[in-house]
Amino acid sequence: MTDMRLYDLRVTVERIEGRSVCGLEVGDYFEVRESSRVRIPEDKHFCLYALQSVLPMLPAKQRKLPDEDWLERDTLVCCPDPEERVVMRIERVGERVMRTEELT
């Protein structure tokens, strides 16, 4: 059995530079825990298109990368809708050890 360390993540709307058509507000967030479990606070939502813009970054942010790697330093992602310009921040909120056999 092999263990690996993964970070739990929180993606938070940091700012909105345009108009929020999708209804997101500064401070709205979702979390990725236990490698692949997405959690959105009860009675909240997260725009599917904003979500899809951040998804490609999440696997890299779940792992410790070399300090000189730009993915280790960069934390901001922007929604693809140019009218909204929703800027989201990815932050590590915890670390856990998981067995590789439990992951897909």
Q: Is the pLDDT of residue 45 over 70?
A: yes
State pTM to two decimals. Answer: 0.90
State the residue range of the domain holding 81.
3-102
Average pLDDT, integer, range 31-52: 94
Q: How many domains does the chain have?
A: 1
Q: φ, ψ for residue 95 (rounded to 5)?
A: -130, 145
Distance CA 5, CA 99 (A): 9
Burial class of residue 81, CB neighbours in 10 A (0-12, 13-18, 19+): middle
* Residues 47 and 24 sit within 8 Å (Cβ to Cβ): yes
48-68 tens-digit pLDDT: 999 999 999 999 999 988 889
